[in-house]
């Protein structure tokens, strides 16, 4: 009788670990894709800046249209509604606000949004701008 150390076994593909890996990859790509969806906004001619940097995804984006209309997520708001929105979002000092306005919008309308943010206690305010060409 001949003794073998290793018995010959036919190779087989384990399907359970492969399913685990595929589900992990699927969940990973779904989460990454959801974070890449931009906040709903309007098409604006943003001013350019040679010092612009990419900001983290803002929590609230306020669009100021050329006619002075204020929009948040597609809804038109008044100054009082904007203050109420900031105050209703929990702790206003932790709200991340980005203001996007057209180049042709009167500066006073832009300042009204900043005033509304200050009234509500928002201190983290970013201004959307396009990077200057050539930088």
Domains of the chain, CATH where assigned = 48-131 (3.30.420.270)
Provide the β-strand partners of residue 62: 72, 99
Comparing C-alpha atoms, which of 89, 113, 78 is closest to residue 99? 113
Contact 62/113 with Cβ under 8 angstroms? Answer: yes
Model-level pTM?
Answer: 0.56
Distance, in Å, from the CA atom of 52 to the CA atom of 59, rounded to the nearest integer, reads 19
Query: What is the CA 85 to chain-centroid distance, rounded?
Result: 18
- What pLDDT score was predicted for residue 38? 57
Tokens standing for residue 88: 């209703």
Q: What is the DSSP string of 20-68?
A: HHHHHHHHHHHHHHHHHSPPP-----PPEETT--PPPPPSEEEEE-TTS
Residue-by-residue pLDDT tens, the chain, 135 positions: 566 666 677 777 788 888 999 999 999 888 887 766 555 455 656 667 676 666 555 578 888 888 888 898 888 889 889 888 888 877 777 778 888 888 888 888 888 888 888 888 888 888 877 776 654
Report DSSP state, residue 77.
Answer: E
Residue listed under structure tokens 């509304």: 116
Residues 6+ apart with CB under 8 A from 102: 44, 45, 46, 64, 65, 66
């Amino acid at each position: 009788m001949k003794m073998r150390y290793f018995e010959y076994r036919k190779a087989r593909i384990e399907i359970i670990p492969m399913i685990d890996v595929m589900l992990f990859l699927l969940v990973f790509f779904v989460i990454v894709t959801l974070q890449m969806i931009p906040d709903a906004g309007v098409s604006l001619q943003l001013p350019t800046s040679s010092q612009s940097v990419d900001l983290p995804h803002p929590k609230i984006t306020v669009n100021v249209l050329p006619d002075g209309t204020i929009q948040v997520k597609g809804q038109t708001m008044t100054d009082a509604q904007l203050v109420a929105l900031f105050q209703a979002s929990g702790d206003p000092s932790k709200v991340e606000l980005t203001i996007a306005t057209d180049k042709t919008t009167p500066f006073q309308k832009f300042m009204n949004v900043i005033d509304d943010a200050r009234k509500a206690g928002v201190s983290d305010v970013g201004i959307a701008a396009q990077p200057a060409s050539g930088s």
